[in-house]
Structures are given as structure tokens and as C-alpha cells.
Amino acid sequence: MQNAWQKLVETARRTVEDGLVVGTSGNVSVRVGDTVLVTPTGVPYDRLGADELCAVDLEGRVTAGDMR
């Protein structure tokens, strides 16, 4: 799961580098089994760390992270 979190951070940062995202708009997510890892709202991707991500189950319940 840790590798998926790191890859998600890398992908989010790449969206900024490629000009696909401006400021804090949008979210990036990845499904790993029955868990969805999601970037938080309001955090610029170029400052995003793996500890700032959020994980939810398929019912939408937060299972990891404090960010929303």
C-alpha cells in the first residue's frame, strides 16, 4: 500500500508539471483492492507528501489519514 501512496503523490505532482492542474483544483485517486487512496482538497500538489493523503473504503468511510 505504501508504494501506491508514493506513486499517487508522484502522479499528482506530475499533473502540475504537465499543466493539467492549476492551484489546488481537482483530485487524484487510485484504487487498491477495496481501498481508494485520494489526494486531499486544498493542498497544492507540489507540496503534497504521502502523509497528507486520505484512504477510504468503497462505502466512502475514511480508513486512513486526517485530510479531507
Residue ranges covered by each domain of the chain: 2-64
Three-state DSSP class for residue 42: coil
Write down the pLDDT at residue 32: 95
Instruction: Give me the numbers of helices (H) and strands (E) for the chain, helices first please.
Output: 1, 4
Tens digit of each residue's pLDDT (9 = 90 or more) over 25-44? 788 999 999 999 998 888 88
DSSP β-bridge partners for residue 56: 36, 62
What DSSP element (H or E) covers 17? helix 2-17
**pLDDT tens sequence for the chain (68 residues):** 788 999 999 999 898 889 888 877 788 999 999 999 998 888 888 888 777 888 999 999 999 887 66
Q: Where are the beta strands (DSSP E) in the chain?
A: 29-32, 35-38, 54-57, 62-64
The cell numbers describing 54, all together, are 486520505
